[in-house]
Amino acid sequence: MNKEHSKAKKYGMVIDLDKCTGCGACMVACMAENNVPFKKDETNKLDSITWMRVYKLTNGKSFPNTEICYLPRPCMHCEGQHGHSPCVSVCPATATDYSQETGIVSQIYTRCFGCRYCMAACPYHARYFNWWDPVWPEGMEKSLNPKVSVRMRGIVEKCSFCFHRYQSAMEKAYYEERKELEEGEYQTACTQACPADAITFGDLNNPDHAVCQLKKSKNAFRLLERLGTNPKVYYVSTREWVRRSGDNYLRGYEKEGKVKKHRELAGH
Amino acid sequence: MDSALIPKGVRRCSFGQFILFIAIVGAVLLWGVFAMLLCWLKGLNQTNMNDYYGFALWIWADLAVIALGGGAFFSGFLKYIMGKDELKNIINYAVLIGFICYSSALLILAIDIGQPLRGWFIFWHANVHSMLTEVAFCLSCYFAVLTIEYIPLILENRQLDRVPFFHNLSHNMHEVMAVFAATGAFLSFFHQGSLGGVAGVLFGRPFAYREGIFIWPWTFFLFTWSAAACGPCFTIFVTWLTEKITRKKLVKDNVIELLAKISGWMLATYTFAKIIDTWYWAAVTAPSAGFWLPDFYSGNALYGPWILFLEIIICGVIPAFILVTDTGRKNRTTLMTAVILAVIGVCLNRWVMVLQVMAVPVMPFDKWVLYYPSWQEVATTILPVAYGVILIAISYRYLPIFPQEKELNPAD
């Protein structure tokens, strides 16, 4: 066995919800970086494409006890069981794939034929359909990112963890005869844009990466963990009500049966 | 004018009346075609679907027509495999209805996908883990089988039958039809099941997700079962409707009652299985995902407990009870009530397993989202109905669909 063969990575995020101010810089950076199309009128959020979407959560209490939390939601790049994430396993044309090398769930735009089964499968609403052909304001097409293909009408798209950046970083590393990337060499656009430094990105398998330590925090949680989606986006909050907003809890049921099984599967 | 094409010994309305009927239904069909072209040329922005409702009216229509078309495979199974020979008097019509339902499903799917020109990718880049792949393969194959079953019927047209080649071809196809019926039954058991699997495997959607055996969730078996139970009910219903419109008795009561009896027992056992499935889901599967049953039926303007009651009790237990009793079947009013309830029940089940799955919020901070279809979606859903009516009208006029018609309606 080749000892120099690089170890499988598992890229993921840890988002500190106590730091997030809900400014939306991550959403803007994501759209600009990934050539995400937009409509003239974006008031109907049900057909707007937002790879990164910031949700506003509240503790439901009235003033003066009201608390707000903003929760950025990229694609969770679910691993499921052995790479059978909810969307990957259902796509009939293998147009979405789970990479065992990086842990990233990809979307193959040229193969997707727009059945939208993956959207039905995703509980996070992280997948978006191109209801229209992308139209850019005059002149704006010149500022599109040349490393990211624009998508046509009738197909599904989603957050790719800025996979083109991974490819660029790997190309550079190969050129320099390296097989491994430094933590800072591959970072997503949202991570870099966040002014509050709420988003940390890296290899969850690599103990030298910050995310590997951050995810072990007692305040870390993932969205809808009990469904067995095994997401790679972690959230951190010191507020209990925020942590409990990450899943559906039933009194007296939490430690039983499948919930426990799913947590064990996820390495908790 | 077209009397040379009409089967001997039967009466049909005048050609003018027939053309007028076709023209009226044809206008509805053209409306649907116009909407279909809009969807193809302008894209799915013509619909009211959105990122919460990737699956909506069309997928429901697909699932519903395939369940209703289940009369073809199950009647064929009963006649050719189980030896229920009386069903030869309704099998032609069951095949025709099945052919219409399955061709409609394929048409709707062709409109529903965002990139219709890439539709073949489902075969070329097939993902063997996807239930939809299994649906696509089995559905296409079974449609081919239905076409093979429908061809000999076309060849029995009075003029075509005079051509020796067609006459012999039709005869020989009839001889081997048992093989195709068996193939059709096999394929149908799978694709009806896979359609149930489409929702049942969605482990990210606790409302739809079911456990099961190996790769098949319980919905896999429930969908096949319900199609076998309610498909024949739809065949009976359409036969009754045809009799009302043509003002003729076309199939003897004993044939209808036999099919109704078998349907009744299938429906009774299906409803029993569905109740157990619902109980296990409510008591074990959903709570393990963090949901109590009332969570799925509250907090919105449409989906309440009534829908569960309507599906299982009103459209399951009641029609099953009527159809398994001799008196229930012999009384035409109760028989037709039961048959209509069963048809509504299976359609409702498909609606719930598509639309309610999309409506239920999964993330705790998400909200119920309801949907209503655009006129383009409605028109394209009515399109196959109009197409079906026209195909039935033409087939009834020119082909010997009902073997007992002459006997039941002797010419003066």
Domains belonging to chain A, first-starting first, are 11-265 (3.30.70.20)
Q: Is B106 on the interface with A (CB under 8 A)?
A: no
d(CA A165, CA A7): 19
B281 belongs to a structural domain: yes
ipTM surpassing 0.90, yes or no?
yes
d(CA A86, CA B356): 18
Cross-strand partners of A81: A84
Q: Which helix (H) or strand (E) holds A68?
A: strand A68-73
pLDDT value, residue A265:
47
Cite the beta strand spans of B222-346 per DSSP E: none
Helix, strand and coil content of chain B, in percent to the nearest 5, comes to 75, 0, 25
Which chain A residue has the Cα nearest residue B49?
A47
Q: What DSSP line would sit under B269-294, residue for residue? A: HHHHHHHHHHHHIIIIIHHHTT--HH
d(CA A9, CA A180): 10
Residue B189 has pLDDT above 90, yes or no: no
Angle at B25 between CA B21 and CA B26, to 5 degrees: 105
Task: Measure A31 CA to nearest chain B CA, in Å.
Answer: 17
Q: Which residues contact B182 (CB under 8 A, 6 or more apart)?
A: B77, B80, B81
Q: In chain A, positions 161-200, which contact chain B (CB-CB < 8 Å)?
A: none
pLDDT value, residue A194:
98
pLDDT tens for each residue of A85-141: 999 999 999 999 999 999 999 999 999 999 999 999 999 999 999 999 999 999 999
Sign of CA dihedral B43, B46, B51, B52: negative
pLDDT value, residue B410:
85
Q: Is A92 on the interface with B (CB under 8 A)?
A: yes
Which chain B residue has the Cα nearest residue A57?
B365
Contact between chains at B132 and A114 (C-beta distance less than 8 A)? no
In terms of C-beta density within 10 A (0-12 exposed, 13-18 middle, 19 or more buried), how is residue A3 classed?
exposed
B412 belongs to a structural domain: no
The CATH number of whichever domain residue B333 belongs to comes to: 1.20.1630.10
Task: Measure B1 CA to nearest chain A CA, in Å.
Answer: 47
Q: In chain B, positions 142-181, which contact chain A (CB-CB < 8 Å)?
A: none
Residue B356 has pLDDT above 70, yes or no: yes
B251 belongs to a structural domain: yes
Cross-strand partners of A11: A203
pLDDT tens for each residue of A125-157: 999 999 999 999 999 999 999 999 999 999 999
pLDDT tens for each residue of B252-269: 999 999 999 999 999 999
pLDDT value, residue A126:
97
Hey, what amino acid is at A201? F
pLDDT value, residue A253:
66
Task: Measure A248 CA to nearest chain B CA, in Å.
Answer: 5
Residue B193 has pLDDT above 80, yes or no: yes
pLDDT value, residue A169:
97
Q: Output phi, psi for B106, to 5 deg.
A: -65, -40
Nearest one of B214, A91, B230, B139 to B222, comparing CA atoms? B230
pLDDT tens for each residue of A148-206: 999 999 999 999 999 999 999 999 999 999 988 999 999 999 999 999 999 999 999 99
B411 belongs to a structural domain: no
Which chain B residue has the Cα nearest residue A83?
B129
pLDDT tens for each residue of B206-255: 999 999 988 899 999 999 999 999 999 999 999 999 999 999 999 999 99
Residue A264 has pLDDT above 80, yes or no: no
Name the band, by pLDDT with cuts 50, 70 and 90, for residue A263. Answer: very low
Count structural domains, chain B. Answer: 1
B82 belongs to a structural domain: yes
Contact between chains at B203 and A112 (C-beta distance less than 8 A)? no
Q: In chain B, positions 368-387, which contact chain A (CB-CB < 8 Å)?
A: 369
Q: How far is CA A50 from CA A35, A103, B151, in A?
A: 11, 21, 51
pLDDT tens for each residue of A6-26: 578 999 999 999 999 999 999
Q: Is A44 on the interface with B (CB under 8 A)?
A: yes
Residue B50 has pLDDT above 80, yes or no: yes
pLDDT value, residue B187:
85
Question: How does A236-265 read in b/e, with b if 16+ C-beta sit within 10 Å?
Answer: bbeeeebbebbbbebeebeeeebbeebbeb
- For chain B, give the mean pLDDT: 94
pLDDT value, residue A268:
40
In terms of C-beta density within 10 A (0-12 exposed, 13-18 middle, 19 or more buried), how is residue B403 classed?
middle
Structural domain boundaries enclosing B127: 3-406
Chain A residues with CB-CB distance to B287 below 8 A = 250, 253
Q: Is B9 on the interface with A (CB under 8 A)?
A: no
Question: How does B272-301 read in b/e, with b if 16+ C-beta sit within 10 Å?
Answer: eebeebeeebbeebbbbbbbbbebbbeebe
